[in-house]
């Protein structure tokens, strides 16, 4: 098991958000986590990355059998986790080129030296693949970028760092259809036995382009439904109200399926 | 040369080297007329320069200490050596330079730098220029780049015409002191229409305990010429207080452009009190790029007097105040003529209780037309015990003015830190990257190797600063 | 003349010390930063102080309210300051002591040393004044100095809008040395408007202070008309957390008048906010100094402070000095300031003249728009 989450509870500024999440993912798999706003999706993503603003109050997070909670954010990144943020932060003064180069250097082993020429070539190739202007390399990281440009910059980093697990936190939100297509292409490019992903989303749109192996519904801090790709369509048809009612026990699962 | 992005390890970059003092002529501690005559005599100066020194000494005695800015009460003028001459003669080639001096230069990368960009190197070891190398084509163009001592001997007309005209010896106590005991520095003259395409560099270094360094730089850019002068300072670690009090005068004649870049990284016990001023004549441009790290107290406000129509002044100021340090820096622009413009940009960083103060002045004289000025000050505070002060003075006595000023104080945001950490950087690296990013718009204006050095210095300063 | 018998001990001590300092201290001069740009020669202090002290327009006759305000109070009350000090009414000691502690010049000590003349306004807990309160200070000088203090105390949760007008009846040109001291207790809210209609040849020195406790809110508006000499020092002290102070002012100065405004936003507690916005128009040979300062103490985390000054210069010959400063001693802050100085935008001027306004009318319209 690549990632195993057991009975995870977490809070933000003292307010409980996650109320016992169980979740596991094998290497090479793509999982989707869906759910209405405020259900705890972004909290889960930030907890996985170790954001200090989110407090883990119970449960465990295992990464390849080792405890993830003991690792600093940068150690998690170097261990192969990657989070594509819903709202990437602007860092004025730090150019994209310098940032990517230094990030590559921190990932070198021992005495290894970065081959700057070939690394630059790889950046350019990936930028072309994501239909990004070459000039981005000289711009300050995310500074003054449009929403779509920021998302592409996140995917560019993912392509460059080649993580073992990428968590895409609402990467599709606010994207037009062309941008969504490009971003999805980036995720699909890495797909393979050594790459897993968790796609966190509100809508099914992105899942038309990136096919998930498993789909989970997060509601009120718990995973309340899990299933195959067909669950996406069911949610699409019935909306989240169905889930809400179901959790409140107003309708049984069977009933809701029949009444649809 | 290592790339700008390498995180430096401490062994590689210790500026604490201190070699046995080999000065062969050194005045006793303290200052009186006799010592000034001895300095002048050592330099075989003509009578007029000795007169200038003596008048300046009188002004120094009469002037009171500034009653504002950094605390200077610990300076003991009687406990300072005012002059030391390290080697007997001016050395023209690298081979002639004494071994331990060479070693010092090696460690700060002088010959290395020379191979790359340098037009000429006037590197200062204690008071005298011991190593001087000027590329032949510059000499052919008539460009003069030498020590002010040589200039007094070889170009007395230029020196007498301009020396002490921008900063009179009675300007302030420290300018008076420098005028009395100055030694070393640079003299630059660029003839009309000549563009010096590669920066002229001088690397200064104090290396005598309790030894005040009083270098004197005079740059004259004749009509339509261009020159970029670069000066950097690193001082070894001392246990007692040292005084650095330089004077820099720039004259940019009609249509000339002069850029003067400094990165100073004095050790933590140096008082760095420098007077820098430029006169910009018709359509001339003067730019000061001034980076201050280290030192115990720095007081430095590069100034531009826009004396004739169309002149432009620009000041970029960078300050980094660490533990026990006070950087009181900024800039001044005096709009004395119509159609003149100026920009002051200041970025300061305070850490470990350090105090950074921006102090600036924009003055528009009565009735001047079409004046534009913009002042932007940004301060970054790295922890809750550090201090940032901003004192911008604006005196506007003309209606045809567009004057804008903005200042802000901020800290490193947690969001930025976490973003970079989640990309694989340690908290310390992430903080250093954000600080370098904060300075980047100014650092870009520096020549490449200085930008690299500044980034390294910031990273060094940032070590152990978070977490 | 006044033995101060019956006054509280703290007052007698404070007053005595203030009197001593007022006597010993020299007049402020250019060596003090706050007076560096002030041309005190305009005041002719020697002859001002040869004149007998003025009889203020509101010299105490009989107590307005014989009972001292206290916790049982249900209503707002207005008293003579003399009675308020004598009866040690709520807030009096605190405000006097704060003013004493801030004292750094002879004028402030004179304010505290002179017999208490002025008003005391008290709003009890949760009292909400429905109508605008109007306070008129008639500073009738005799050619010398008038010294007046007004104290305003709002208990927790009280609310009021207060308009204070400083004026005079016909009287010889005088120097008016005054302050309004305001104490806003927890959650109190005050909108304060200060206008001034003194004869143009008068001189005015004002050292007003506002002290804000937890969650208190202040909106201060200050309109300056032109005086021969006008120096106003407005200080807001955010003493307890989550208080907010909003200081605004406009000035329009012509002739060869002098106007100087000092503002201080002093943040001593966490998560307070303050704004200072001052705008001025200068004409003829007028001279103004705006000197603003945001001070943030190490404890004042989460401070949000802003300071701005805009000057419009109508012609050559006038002069505007603008010195917005920051002194920040902790990093968890959002502090900034801005300053602009310029002339009437020729494009706007042209636009209005092309719509039929004369140049003079157009300039007047734009000036008013700027001060709006």
Q: Are C339 and B398 a contacting pair at CB < 8 A?
A: no
Q: Are A94 and B436 a contacting pair at CB < 8 A?
A: yes
Contact status of B418 with chain A (Cβ, < 8 Å):
yes
Q: Which residue of B has its CA nearest to A81?
A: B422
CA pair distance A147, A169, nearest whole angstrom: 14
Window from A181-195, B114-128, B306-320, C111-125 with minimum mean pLDDT? B114-128
pLDDT band at residue B349, thresholds of 50, 70 and 90? very high
The tokens describing C67, both together, are: 């009972």
Contact status of B434 with chain A (Cβ, < 8 Å):
yes
- Say yes or no to pLDDT of B138 above 90: no
Give the B-side interface with C, CB within 8 Å: 67-68, 366-367, 379, 381-411
Of B384, B390, B404, the CB nearest to C331: B384
The pLDDT tens digits of the residues spanning C287-318 come to 999 999 999 999 999 999 999 999 999 888 89
The pLDDT tens digits of the residues spanning A135-186 come to 898 899 999 999 889 999 999 999 999 999 999 999 888 888 888 898 899 8
Q: What is the predicted pLDDT for the residue at C276?
A: 95
Q: What is the predicted pLDDT for the residue at B120?
A: 36
- Say yes or no to pLDDT of B91 above 50: no
Q: Are B440 and A83 a contacting pair at CB < 8 A?
A: no
Strands A222-227 and A214-219: antiparallel
pLDDT band at residue A233, thresholds of 50, 70 and 90? confident
A34 beta partners: A201, A217
The pLDDT tens digits of the residues spanning B148-184 come to 998 999 999 999 999 999 999 999 999 999 999 998 8
The pLDDT tens digits of the residues spanning A58-87 come to 999 999 989 999 898 899 999 999 999 999
- Say yes or no to pLDDT of B8 above 70: no
pLDDT band at residue A213, thresholds of 50, 70 and 90? very high
Residue A113 is assigned to a structural domain of this protein: no
Residue C200 is assigned to a structural domain of this protein: yes
Instruction: Spell out the residues 6+ positions from residue B378 whose beta carbon is closer than 8 angstroms to its own.
Output: B346, B347, B348, B407, B408, B409, B410, B438
A169 beta partners: A200
Window from A29-38, B392-401, B443-452, C23-32 with minimum mean pLDDT? B443-452
Q: Are B398 and C313 a contacting pair at CB < 8 A?
A: yes
Give the residue-averaged pLDDT of B58-74: 88
Q: Which residues from chain A sit within 8 angstroms of residue B415, using beta carbons? A: 89
Q: Which of A201, A135, A144 is nearest to A168 (CA)?
A: A201
What percentage of chain C exceeds 90 in pLDDT?
53
Query: Distances in Å between the alpha carbon of C282 and those of B399, C253, C312, C365?
Result: 9, 5, 6, 15
Q: Which residues from chain B sit within 8 angstroms of residue A161, using beta carbons? A: 423-424
Q: Are C341 and B401 a contacting pair at CB < 8 A?
A: yes
- Say yes or no to pLDDT of C133 above 60: yes
- State the residue range of the domain holding A246: 3-90+162-259
- Say yes or no to pLDDT of C83 above 70: yes
Q: Are B441 and A161 a contacting pair at CB < 8 A?
A: no
Q: Are B396 and C341 a contacting pair at CB < 8 A?
A: yes
Q: What is the predicted pLDDT for the residue at B72?
A: 86
Mean pLDDT of chain A: 88
pLDDT band at residue B20, thresholds of 50, 70 and 90? very low
More confident position, B253 or C351: B253
Residue A228 is assigned to a structural domain of this protein: yes
Q: Which residues from chain B sit within 8 angstroms of residue C319, using beta carbons? A: 366, 395-397
Residue C25 is assigned to a structural domain of this protein: yes
Q: Are B404 and C31 a contacting pair at CB < 8 A?
A: no
Domains: count for chain C: 1
Window from B233-242, C10-19, C276-285, C328-337 with minimum mean pLDDT? B233-242
DSSP string computed for C297-334: -TT-TTEEEEEEEEEEE-SBTBEEEEEEEEEE--SSEE
More confident position, C103 or B67: C103
Q: What is the predicted pLDDT for the residue at C301?
A: 93
Q: Which residue of A has its CA nearest to B441?
A: A93
Chains A/B: 3 or more C-beta pairs closer than 8 A?
yes
The pLDDT tens digits of the residues spanning C105-124 come to 999 999 999 889 899 999 99
The pLDDT tens digits of the residues spanning C189-245 come to 999 999 988 888 888 999 999 999 999 999 999 988 788 889 999 999 999 999 999
- Say yes or no to pLDDT of B238 above 50: no
B73 to chain C nearest CA, in Å?
18
Q: How far is CA A9 from the centre of its chain?
A: 19
- State the residue range of the domain holding C183: 9-344
Q: What is the predicted pLDDT for the residue at B451?
A: 72
Q: Are B422 and A50 a contacting pair at CB < 8 A?
A: yes
Domains: count for chain A: 1
For chain B, which residues make up each domain, given as ranges? 21-300
pLDDT band at residue C31, thresholds of 50, 70 and 90? confident
- Say yes or no to pLDDT of B117 above 80: no
Q: Which residue of B has its CA nearest to C318?
A: B397
Please measure the distance between the N-terminal and C-terminal CA atoms of chain C and give it in whole angstroms.
48
Chains A/C: 3 or more C-beta pairs closer than 8 A?
no
CA pair distance A234, B75, nearest whole angstrom: 80
- Say yes or no to pLDDT of C1 above 50: no
Q: Which residues from chain A sit within 8 angstroms of residue B439, using beta carbons? A: 93
Q: What is the predicted pLDDT for the residue at B202?
A: 65
Q: What is the predicted pLDDT for the residue at C263?
A: 96
Contact status of A44 with chain B (Cβ, < 8 Å):
no
Q: Chains meeting B at 3+ CB pairs closer than 8 A?
A: A, C
CATH of the domain at A74: 3.40.50.300
C247 to chain B nearest CA, in Å?
19
Interface test with B, best of C328, C338, C346 (most B CBs within 10 A): C328
Contact status of B445 with chain A (Cβ, < 8 Å):
no
CA pair distance B60, B77, nearest whole angstrom: 11
Interface test with B, best of C289, C307, C331 (most B CBs within 10 A): C331
What percentage of chain A exceeds 70 in pLDDT?
95
Give the residue-averaged pLDDT of A108-132: 88
DSSP string computed for C237-265: EE-STT-EEEEEEEEEE-TT-EEEEEEEE
Q: What is the predicted pLDDT for the residue at B59?
A: 96
Q: Are B434 and A94 a contacting pair at CB < 8 A?
A: yes
Q: Which helix (H) or strand (E) covers residue C33, if one does?
A: none
Range with top average pLDDT, A30-44, A109-123, B1-15, B103-117:
A30-44
pLDDT band at residue B466, thresholds of 50, 70 and 90? very low
- For A:118-157, CB contacts with B below 8 A are 140-141, 157
More confident position, B85 or C314: C314
Q: What is the predicted pLDDT for the residue at B368?
A: 94
Residue C86 is assigned to a structural domain of this protein: yes
Contact status of A93 with chain B (Cβ, < 8 Å):
yes
Contact status of B416 with chain A (Cβ, < 8 Å):
yes
What percentage of chain B exceeds 90 in pLDDT?
52
Q: Are B422 and A52 a contacting pair at CB < 8 A?
A: no
Residue A244 is assigned to a structural domain of this protein: yes
More confident position, A43 or C71: A43
Q: Are B422 and A106 a contacting pair at CB < 8 A?
A: no
The pLDDT tens digits of the residues spanning B216-235 come to 999 999 999 999 998 765 54
- Say yes or no to pLDDT of B373 above 60: yes
The pLDDT tens digits of the residues spanning B318-347 come to 999 999 999 999 999 999 999 999 999 999
pLDDT band at residue C72, thresholds of 50, 70 and 90? low
The tokens describing B374, both together, are: 């913009």
Residue A183 is assigned to a structural domain of this protein: yes
Q: Which of B373, B301, B376, B392 is nearest to B335 (CA)?
A: B373
Window from B5-14, B437-446, B453-462 with minimum mean pLDDT? B5-14
Of C311, C316, C325, the CB nearest to B366: C316
Q: Are C331 and B67 a contacting pair at CB < 8 A?
A: no
Contact status of B380 with chain A (Cβ, < 8 Å):
no
Interface test with B, best of A87, A90, A98 (most B CBs within 10 A): A98
Q: What is the predicted pLDDT for the residue at B450?
A: 67
A157 to chain B nearest CA, in Å?
9
In this structure, is the dihedral angle defined by the CA atoms of residues B428, B432, B434 and B435, taken in order, positive or negative? positive
Q: Which residues from chain A sit within 8 angstroms of residue B430, using beta carbons? A: 74
Contact status of B467 with chain A (Cβ, < 8 Å):
no
Q: What is the predicted pLDDT for the residue at C149?
A: 94
Residue C24 is assigned to a structural domain of this protein: yes
Window from A94-98, C53-57, C77-81, C150-154 with minimum mean pLDDT? C53-57
Give the residue-averaged pLDDT of A198-213: 90
Please measure the distance between the N-terminal and C-terminal CA atoms of chain A and give it in whole angstroms.
36
- Whether B384 and B412 have beta carbons less than 8 Å apart is answered as no
CA pair distance B399, C315, nearest whole angstrom: 5
Q: What is the predicted pLDDT for the residue at B112?
A: 45
Give the C-side interface with B, CB within 8 Å: 31, 33, 298, 301, 311, 313-343
Window from A112-116, B413-417, C259-263 with minimum mean pLDDT? A112-116
Q: Are B425 and A107 a contacting pair at CB < 8 A?
A: no
Q: Which residues from chain B sit within 8 angstroms of residue A101, using beta carbons? A: 5
Window from A233-242, B129-138, B351-360 with minimum mean pLDDT? B129-138
Residue C361 is assigned to a structural domain of this protein: no
pLDDT band at residue A259, thresholds of 50, 70 and 90? very low
CA pair distance C337, C308, nearest whole angstrom: 5
Residue A108 is assigned to a structural domain of this protein: no
Q: What is the predicted pLDDT for the residue at B113?
A: 42
Residue A101 is assigned to a structural domain of this protein: no
Q: Which residues from chain A sit within 8 angstroms of residue B413, using beta carbons? A: 89
């Amino acid at each position: 098991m690549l990632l195993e989450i057991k009975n995870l509870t977490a809070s933000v500024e003292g307010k409980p958000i996650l109320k016992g999440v169980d979740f596991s993912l094998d290497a090479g798999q793509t999982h989707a986590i869906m759910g209405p706003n405020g259900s705890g999706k972004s909290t889960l993503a930030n907890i996985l990355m170790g954001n200090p603003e989110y407090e883990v109050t119970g449960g465990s997070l295992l990464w390849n059998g080792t405890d993830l909670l003991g690792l600093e954010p940068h150690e998690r990144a170097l261990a192969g986790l990657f989070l594509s943020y819903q709202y990437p932060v602007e860092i004025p003064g730090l150019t994209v080129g310098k940032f990517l180069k230094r990030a590559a250097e921190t990932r070198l082993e021992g005495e290894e030296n970065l081959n700057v020429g070939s690394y630059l070539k790889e950046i350019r190739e990936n930028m072309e693949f994501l239909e990004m202007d070459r000039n981005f390399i000289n711009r300050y990281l995310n500074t003054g970028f449009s929403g779509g440009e920021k998302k592409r910059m996140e995917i560019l980093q993912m392509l460059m760092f080649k993580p073992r697990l990428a968590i895409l936190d609402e990467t599709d939100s606010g994207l037009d259809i062309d941008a969504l297509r490009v971003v999805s292409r980036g995720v699909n490019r890495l797909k393979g036995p050594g790459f897993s992903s968790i796609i966190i989303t509100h809508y099914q749109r992105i899942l038309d382009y990136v096919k998930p192996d498993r789909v989970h519904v997060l509601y009120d801090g718990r995973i309340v439904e899990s299933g195959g790709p067909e669950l996406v369509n069911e949610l699409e048809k019935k909306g989240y109200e169905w889930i809400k009612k179901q959790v409140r026990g107003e309708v049984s699962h069977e009933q809701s399926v029949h009444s649809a | 040369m290592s790339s700008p992005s390498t995180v430096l390890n401490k062994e590689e970059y210790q500026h604490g080297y201190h070699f046995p003092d080999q000065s062969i002529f050194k005045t006793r501690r303290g200052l009186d007329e006799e010592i000034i005559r001895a300095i002048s005599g050592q330099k075989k100066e003509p009578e007029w320069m000795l007169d200038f020194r003596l008048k300046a000494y009188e002004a120094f005695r009469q002037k009171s200490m500034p009653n504002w800015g950094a605390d200077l009460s610990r300076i003991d003028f009687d406990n300072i050596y005012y002059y030391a001459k390290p080697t007997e003669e001016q050395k023209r080639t690298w081979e002639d330079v004494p071994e331990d001096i060479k070693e010092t230069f090696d460690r700060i990368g002088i010959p290395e730098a020379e191979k790359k960009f340098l037009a000429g190197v006037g590197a200062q070891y204690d008071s005298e220029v011991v190593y001087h190398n000027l590329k032949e084509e510059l000499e052919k163009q008539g460009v003069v780049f030498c020590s002010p001592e040589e200039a007094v001997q070889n170009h007395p007309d230029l020196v007498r015409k301009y020396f002490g005209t921008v900063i009179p010896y009675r300007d302030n106590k420290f300018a008076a002191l420098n005028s009395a005991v100055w030694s070393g520095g640079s003299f630059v003259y660029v003839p009309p229409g000549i563009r010096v395409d590669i920066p002229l560099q001088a690397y200064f270094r104090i290396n005598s305990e309790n030894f005040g360094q009083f270098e004197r730089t005079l740059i004259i850019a004749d009509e339509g010429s261009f020159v970029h002068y670069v000066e950097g300072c690193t001082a070894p670690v001392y246990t007692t207080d040292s005084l650095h009090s330089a004077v820099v005068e720039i004259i940019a004649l009609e249509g000339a452009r002069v850029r003067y870049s400094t990165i100073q990284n004095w050790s933590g016990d140096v008082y760095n009190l420098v007077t820098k001023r430029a006169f910009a004549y018709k359509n001339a441009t003067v730019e000061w790029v001034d980076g201050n790290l280290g030192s115990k107290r720095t007081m430095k406000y590069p100034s531009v007097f826009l004396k004739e129509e169309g002149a432009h002044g620009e000041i970029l100021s960078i300050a980094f105040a660490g533990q026990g340090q006070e950087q009181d820096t900024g800039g001044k622009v005096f709009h004395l003529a119509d159609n003149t413009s100026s920009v002051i940009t200041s970025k300061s960083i305070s850490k470990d209780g350090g105090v950074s103060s921006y102090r600036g002045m924009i003055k528009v004289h009565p009735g001047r037309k079409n004046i534009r000025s913009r002042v932007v000050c940004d301060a970054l505070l790295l922890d809750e015990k550090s201090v940032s002060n901003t004192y911008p003075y604006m005196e506007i006595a003309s209606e045809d003015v567009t004057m804008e000023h903005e200042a802000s104080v901020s800290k490193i945001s947690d969001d930025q830190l976490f973003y970079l950490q989640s990309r694989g950087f340690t908290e310390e690296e992430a903080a250093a990257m954000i600080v370098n990013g904060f300075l980047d718009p100014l650092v870009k204006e520096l020549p490449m190797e200085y930008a690299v050095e500044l980034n390294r210095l910031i990273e060094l300063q940032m070590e152990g600063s978070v977490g | 003349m006044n033995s101060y018998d019956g006054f509280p001990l703290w007052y007698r001590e404070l007053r005595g010390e203030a009197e001593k300092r007022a006597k010993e201290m020299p007049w402020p001069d250019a060596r003090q930063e706050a007076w560096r740009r002030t041309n005190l020669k305009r005041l002719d202090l020697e002859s001002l102080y040869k004149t007998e002290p003025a009889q203020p327009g509101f010299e105490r006759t009989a107590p307005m309210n014989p009972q001292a305000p206290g916790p049982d109070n249900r209503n707002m009350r207005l008293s003579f300051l003399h009675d308020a000090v004598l009866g040690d009414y709520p807030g009096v000691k605190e405000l006097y002591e704060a003013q004493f502690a801030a004292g750094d010049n002879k004028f402030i000590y004179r304010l505290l040393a002179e017999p208490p003349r002025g008003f005391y306004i008290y709003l009890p807990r949760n009292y909400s004044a429905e109508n605008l309160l109007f306070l008129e200070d008639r500073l009738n000088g005799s050619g010398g100095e008038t010294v007046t203090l007004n104290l305003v105390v709002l208990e927790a949760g009280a609310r009021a809008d207060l308009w204070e007008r400083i004026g005079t009846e016909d009287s010889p040109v005088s120097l008016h040395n005054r302050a309004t001291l305001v104490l806003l207790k927890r959650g109190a809210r005050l909108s304060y408007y200060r206008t001034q209609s003194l004869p143009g040849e008068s001189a005015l020195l004002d050292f007003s202070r506002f002290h804000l406790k937890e969650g208190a809110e202040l909106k201060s508006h200050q309109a300056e008309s032109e005086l021969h000499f006008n120096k106003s020092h407005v200080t807001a002290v955010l003493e307890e957390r989550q208080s907010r102070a909003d200081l605004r002012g406009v000035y329009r100065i012509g002739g060869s008048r002098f106007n100087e405004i000092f503002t201080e936003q002093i943040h001593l507690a966490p998560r307070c906010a303050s704004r200072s916005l001052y705008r001025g128009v200068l004409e003829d040979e007028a001279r103004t100094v705006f000197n603003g300062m945001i001070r943030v103490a190490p404890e004042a985390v989460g401070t949000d402070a802003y300071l701005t000054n805009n000057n419009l210069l109508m012609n050559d010959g006038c002069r505007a000095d603008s010195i917005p400063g920051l002194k920040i001693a902790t990093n968890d802050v959002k502090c900034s300031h801005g300053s602009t100085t310029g002339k009437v935008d020729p494009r706007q001027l042209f636009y209005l003249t092309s719509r039929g306004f004369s140049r003079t009318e157009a300039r007047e319209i734009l000036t008013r728009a700027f001060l709006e």
